[in-house]
Amino acid sequence: MHTENSIQTVSARRDDLNTLREHLSIEAYHKLNRASAITQFVGLDLGQRELTGLHQLCMPHIFSYLHDDISFVLEELKGKGLCRDFLTQQGLREEEDHV
């Protein structure tokens, strides 16, 4: 599920050395924090509870949210060229999807 929020982007900033640095959008930062919080909660919850039918109903939705959020941030990073060096070193193309 993708939320249609307006994206506020701080695309670049000069640091102390007066060089230009790229930054994530506020939405990407929010999505990373949400994915982190969800994984922490689900991990703790699954460790403390007996698995029931309710888990079978909600787990696909939770993983769908995580996938959407992480994919959004990864695409933004690729779009800003922040994965270019890694992808070049690994001999990967930026268009390749991970499994």
Is 60 among the domain residues?
yes
Q: 4 in a domain, yes or no?
A: no
SS3 assignment for 27-43: HHHHHHHHHHHHHHHHH
Q: Is residue 33 part of a domain?
A: yes
SS3 assignment for 65-98: HHHHHHHHHHHHHHHCCCCHHHHHHCCCCCCCCC
Is the pLDDT score of 87 beyond 60?
yes
Residue 57 is predicted with a pLDDT of 83
Domain that holds residue 74: 12-89
- Our count of domains for the chain comes to 1
Has residue 97 been placed in a domain?
no
- Residue in 37, 33, 29, 35 with CA at minimum distance from that of residue 8: 29
pLDDT higher than 80, residue 65: yes
Is the pTM here over 0.85, yes or no? no
- Distance (Å, whole) CA 20 – CA 14: 5
